[in-house]
Amino acid sequence: MTAFRSHPLRTPLLGPIAVPGDKSISHRALIFGALSVGETTIINLLKGEDVLRTAAAVAAFGTQVEERSDGTWVVHGCGVGGFREPSTVLDLGNSGTGVRLLMGVAATLPGVTFFGGDRSLSGRPMGRVMTPLEKFGATFVSRDGLLPVAVLGAKAPVPVIHEMAVASAQVKSAILLAGLNAPGETTVVETVLTRDHTERMLRGFGADIRVEETEGARRITVAGQPELTGRAIHVPVDPSSAAFFVVAATLVEGSDITIERVSTNPLRAGLFDVLRDMGADIVESNAGDLNGEPVADLRVRAAALNGIDIPASRAPSMIDEYPILAVAAAYAKGNTVMRGLHELRVKESDRLTAIAEGLTACGVGVEITEDNLVVHGCDRHIPGAGQIATLHDHRIAMAFAVLGLAAREAITIDDDSMIGTSFPSFMGLMTGLGANLAAPT
């Protein structure tokens, strides 16, 4: 654990920034490649610890995974139903996406699979995914719905129809993955739309999948026991990672940056729309498509922000971005109200509390009312000088590193060790732009 200080920047952020690939898509590319027949090549895979844990896990299922000298990853798939029983416990570290999606795969495979994780992941709820997966015939053994978990895969899996009780792309994806190895059709019904990388990627690998819009709901149906075919995947830039630089450039006077090939999937890019509503100068160009995912280049220039009221309906498209949005709100003029943030309480930390305590420590007024957060904007005049407890949460660490760039005084962040789980190049990119993120003296 290494503490660091984020000092106010005296110069603007300028030029292009090479932000790494999308974490959600990287996880799925490895898993779907492993479930396919033939070779899948992956360009721009995020080499964060979370994704590497998923790579190791699919290898433990009997898949060959390798990184080539040019940075391209290659997965030699086993096909749907071709995974073998792992001989060791699958340690997913801090990867909630990896563990929940792979629990879906294990639920309809014969044999026993053991899952574990680090202290943070072991405190996150797994019951939300285990309960629907039991419908396939799988059995789960755990204490209080937490890791470690033993999965006894269904010997004769049956297809299911599941109506989502919680808006979670991880749960939805786990069910669809389980359905791949069950006969017949498996259907997920969601009334609150969540990120759809799984549906897009399944279609690209050759699955028979239907997405039907009904009044007030979306039905996603996948036909079981397909033969998926390996393919080439180019992972777009992660909008959740780009968000830190988008907000930094918005806050630091005179900044003008460009980030290329950012995922603009409407179920992921909600933060950019919210920031524009607040007054941010974010312009898209060179719109295109990468393996079924919409992408564009983003140009961001410094701008003054105004507080707004953000309804709960926007939360699913930007749930991971609320820590950095709260930082933007702290610099805005007027109050920003963020509603429906109950999911922030079950992330790598209780993010709702961590955000509020961090902003308070830096001299920003905040209120929490049930699952809503109100930030009293300081109109670009934040005192800083706070001590930030990250609670082993990478997004809290990175968000407050950005806050320090435009504060009056440097802030101290207690731990940088977990940043590598999702964004190993973050510190290097920030310091390359002129940020001073040195250890405290």
Predicted structure pTM score = 0.92
Q: Quick one: pLDDT at residue 5?
A: 95
In this prediction, residues 119-130 reach a mean pLDDT of 93
pLDDT tens, residue by residue, 297-328: 999 999 999 999 999 999 988 999 999 999 99
Q: Give the DSSP letter string of 133-152.
A: HHTTT-EEEEETTEEEEEEE
Instruction: Of 1-10, 85-94, 309-318, 339-348, give the lowest mean pLDDT range.
Output: 339-348
Q: Quick one: pLDDT at residue 77?
A: 97
Contact 236, 287 (CB under 8 A): no
**Residue in the block written with tokens 């202290």:** 119
Contact 247, 332 (CB under 8 A): no
Q: Provide the pLDDT confidence category of residue 343 given band limits of 50, 70 and 90.
A: confident
211 token code pair: 């997405």
Q: Is 320 a catalytic residue?
A: yes
What domains appear along the chain, each with residue ranges and CATH number? 4-21+236-432 (3.65.10.10), 23-221 (3.65.10.10)
**What are phi and psi for residue 287, nearest 5 degrees?**
-60, 140
Report helix, strand or coil for 206.
coil
In this prediction, residues 86-115 reach a mean pLDDT of 97
Q: Tell me how far CA of residue 352 lies from CA of 102, 292, 310, 321, 398, in angstroms.
A: 28, 33, 15, 12, 15
Whether the ω angle into residue 148 lies within 30 degrees of 0, i.e. cis, is: yes
Per DSSP, 123 falls in state G
Q: Quick one: pLDDT at residue 349?
A: 72
Q: Quick one: pLDDT at residue 253?
A: 96
Q: Provide the pLDDT confidence category of residue 2 given band limits of 50, 70 and 90.
A: confident
Q: Is the pLDDT of residue 410 over 70?
A: yes
Q: Is the pLDDT of residue 384 over 80?
A: yes
Task: Give the residue from 210, 211, 208 showing the smallest Cα distance to 225.
Answer: 208
Q: Is the pLDDT of residue 215 over 90?
A: no
In this prediction, residues 92-120 reach a mean pLDDT of 96
Which residue would you say has higher pLDDT here, 411 or 438? 411
Task: Give the residue from 332, 352, 278 showing the smallest Cα distance to 310.
Answer: 278
Q: Quick one: pLDDT at residue 379?
A: 94
Contact 19, 245 (CB under 8 A): yes
Report helix, strand or coil for 9.
coil
Q: Quick one: pLDDT at residue 1?
A: 61
Q: Is the pLDDT of residue 144 over 90?
A: yes
Which residue would you say has higher pLDDT here, 71 or 345? 71
Residues 407 and 218: their CA atoms lie apart, in Å, by: 44
Residues 174 and 280: their CA atoms lie apart, in Å, by: 36
Residues 270 and 37: their CA atoms lie apart, in Å, by: 35
Report helix, strand and coil shares of the chain as percent, to nearest 5.
Answer: 35, 30, 40
Per DSSP, 7 falls in state P
Residues 209 and 193: their CA atoms lie apart, in Å, by: 17
Q: Quick one: pLDDT at residue 438?
A: 85
Residues 98 and 375: their CA atoms lie apart, in Å, by: 33
Strand partners, 73: 42, 67
- Percent of the chain whose pLDDT exceeds 90: 90
Q: Provide the pLDDT confidence category of residue 179 given band limits of 50, 70 and 90.
A: very high
Choosing from 320, 414, 415, 416, the catalytic residue is 320
Q: Provide the pLDDT confidence category of residue 422 given band limits of 50, 70 and 90.
A: confident
For all residues of the chain together, what is the average pLDDT?
Answer: 95
